[in-house]
Amino acid sequence: MLQEQLWQQVQLVRAQSPLVHNITNYVVMNNTANALLAAGASPVMAHAHGEVEDMTAIAGALVINIGTLDDYWVKSMELAAARAKALQRPWVLDPVGAGATSYRNEVLRELLKYSPAVIRGNASEILALASIESATKGVDSQHSSEQALDAAKRLSEAVNCVVVVSGAVDYIVQGDRVTAIANGHPLMAKVTGMGCTATAITGAFCATAPQKPYQSAVAAMALMGIAGELAAAKAAGPGSVQQYFLDALYTLDEQTFNSKLQLTIVHAGIPV
Ligand SMILES: Nc1ncnc2c1ncn2[C@@H]1O[C@H](COP(=O)(O)OP(=O)(O)O)[C@@H](O)[C@H]1O
Ligand SMILES: Cc1ncsc1CCOP(=O)(O)O
Ligand SMILES: [Mg+2]
């Protein structure tokens, strides 16, 4: 049963503590590393040209996030993504701010050539990435996740990967296969780096199940949403959401996970 497999994946990350290599942005490095640790994974942030390929080679998964990119970092991302592709190591792309500037779009066009296993973005970013012409104001979404479903399907087929559109409802899409997760809380969007954390946790799940990127993405988004709900229930605002979120990732148990999960298989499509 899918629900049991999802919890098994949460446990697998806790048991195996996979090394997750992140090339991410200055804003979220600390939050991301702490969230990976709380979920049971082992984070490393590394972007020097001299070591980035070796780091990818010893990691279980690579996460590339273009949030605060510059030319040096772009080269780091390309070196790492090329190594991940060569080693068939799963890697996950966060197209932060896709569509906001032509520089971001150019970089994303290049990165897509290295076959990410999963792309996770908000609706505006997925719309932009699918067309590279949609209007994105910055790093926050101007669209609902439903509005990006067709774009996600096209993108997943063009790149041959899983696409996650996050928002009030998270959609995990691969071709005709669509799963919706209606967990989470609006306060999550008031904490910077929650999307980046979702992407990094997806990387951790891919590391322990490299042949199952779809199921890994579903499990990661379920964990994010449920931990976010538990955190928001205790919190007075964004500051304490961040704090309680880490605690929820760390303490979540099977019974709570299964009782809170709001998962709908929208379309089964062809199993992958
Ligand atoms: N309105 C909302 N209701 C419930 N969960 C939300 C809401 N907005 C965002 N989230 C959750 O917050 C996390 C980050 O998603 P999102 O805000 O779309 O990403 P980003 O930070 O990249 O824009 C996801 O786990 C998502 O499910
Ligand atoms: C605000 C900001 N600016 C560049 S990267 C970044 C963080 C975006 O994080 P998230 O998309 O997870 O909210
Ligand atoms: Mg984001």
**Could you tell me if the ipTM is greater than 0.90?**
yes
| Å from CA of 192 to ligand 2 middle | 6
Answer whether residue 270 is part of any domain. Answer: no
In sequence order, what E strands does the chain have? 19-23, 42-45, 61-65, 91-94, 118-122, 162-166, 170-174, 177-181, 263-267
Domain of 20 in residue numbering reads as 2-265
Look at the chain and report how many structural domains it folds into. Answer: 1
Pocket of ligand 1 (CB under 6 A): 122, 140-141, 166-168, 170, 184-186, 188-189, 194-195, 198, 224-225, 228
Answer whether residue 120 is part of any domain. Answer: yes
What is the CATH classification number for the domain harbouring 199? 3.40.1190.20
Answer whether residue 271 is part of any domain. Answer: no
| Å from CA of 1 to ligand 3 middle | 31
Tens of each residue's pLDDT in the chain, 272 residues: 577 899 999 999 999 999 999 999 999 999 999 999 999 999 999 999 999 999 999 999 999 999 999 999 999 999 999 999 999 999 999 999 999 999 999 999 999 999 999 999 999 999 999 987 344 557 788 888 889 999 999 999 999 999 999 999 999 999 999 999 999 999 999 999 999 999 999 999 999 999 999 999 999 999 999 999 999 999 999 999 999 999 999 999 999 999 999 999 988 775 54
| Å from CA of 107 to ligand 1 middle | 24
231 contacts 245 by C-beta, under 8 angstroms: yes
User: What CA–CA distance (Å, rounded) separates 57 from 75?
Assistant: 17
83 is in an annotated binding site: no
Answer whether residue 30 is part of any domain. Answer: yes
User: What CA–CA distance (Å, rounded) separates 65 from 7?
Assistant: 26
17 is in an annotated binding site: no
162 forms beta bridges with 118
Buried residues in 156-195 as b, exposed as e (16+ CB within 10 A): beebebbbbbbbebbbbbbbebbbbbebbbebbbebbbbb
154 is in an annotated binding site: no
Secondary structure (DSSP) of 86-131:
HHT--EEEE-TTTTS-HHHHHHHHHHGGG--SEEEEEHHHHHHHHH
Answer whether residue 177 is part of any domain. Answer: yes
